Structure 1
Amino acid sequence: MGTPITFHVPEFSDVQVAFGADHSVYLTREQMGDDFYGDRNEFTRHASALFFRGGQVLPAGRRWRSDIDRVKATRAIKALLCSFDPKHEIKIGTVGFALSQWTEAGEAPEAPRTAHQAQRKKPRKPKGKGRAFGRAA
């Protein structure tokens, strides 16, 4: 097994986030190691679930490390997952490896509420009188 590598968060343009990253930013099988090639651990299984079903970028019970820009990391994960360039196992392995390096154990903090959400105290009531098509028979 080779020397462990550090995978820094790459920066992607809006076009790359929408249409996928270039093949050159993905790790090779040798760089990621056998643990990340395919669905062999919690991170690659989560990456595979993101690819096929979507969902929360962070695995359950994980949060972004304090030195990682979460917006940049989320954009990177999206760009890495939607590319047609690499083999599927390389794509999933790279994203799994990234998640293992960029996150740590612990619950993710709640998303900040917007000013509008903070002002709203009561749930909205449905419009109309609740009758079918708005009129009594």
Structure 2
Amino acid sequence: MAKITFCKIDGTESQIQCLYDMLNKRVHNISHSKNPSYEEHRDFVLNHPYRFWYIVVKDDLPIGTCYVMESNSVSAFLVDGEEEYLDGVIQFILSNHKPLEELKSLRPSHFYINVPTGNIDMKERLSKMGWVEIQTTFSLAEPYNISSE
């Protein structure tokens, strides 16, 4: 397995374009159902709400992203075909960052990962790494296909 490295996001134009290209390759999403415009994306990158944010690189090519939020939520995205590197991404985060202190009813004392419902592969990989499923979340927001049955 090739070595992966991590490039901290500092908002350069090349990073913004790279992140936008990867965003458009995503199959599973949680935070949006329609991709933003390039300008919306650019504004988001320049004002991102993350504690730490990285591009995951293998052999000088970007293969994914990962970040840690103030809520102790962790995210890892790898483009199709690079899923085998998930363990390395998670290990990087755990080795280099610690969860923030618990805030009752606001932030747990541990890291957690939200996984899109349809991303069975990621659920299985996380389970094999020892992560435990703790919650299923439902949304009542457009434009998700909500029926009135």
What is the TM-score with the length of structure 1 in the denominator? 0.27
Considering fraction of residues, name the structure with more strand: 2
Considering fraction of residues, name the structure with more helix: 1
Q: Which has the larger radius of gyration?
A: 1
Q: Between the two structures, name the one with larger relative contact order (CA 8 Å, sep ≥ 6).
A: 1
What is the TM-score with the length of structure 2 in the denominator? 0.26
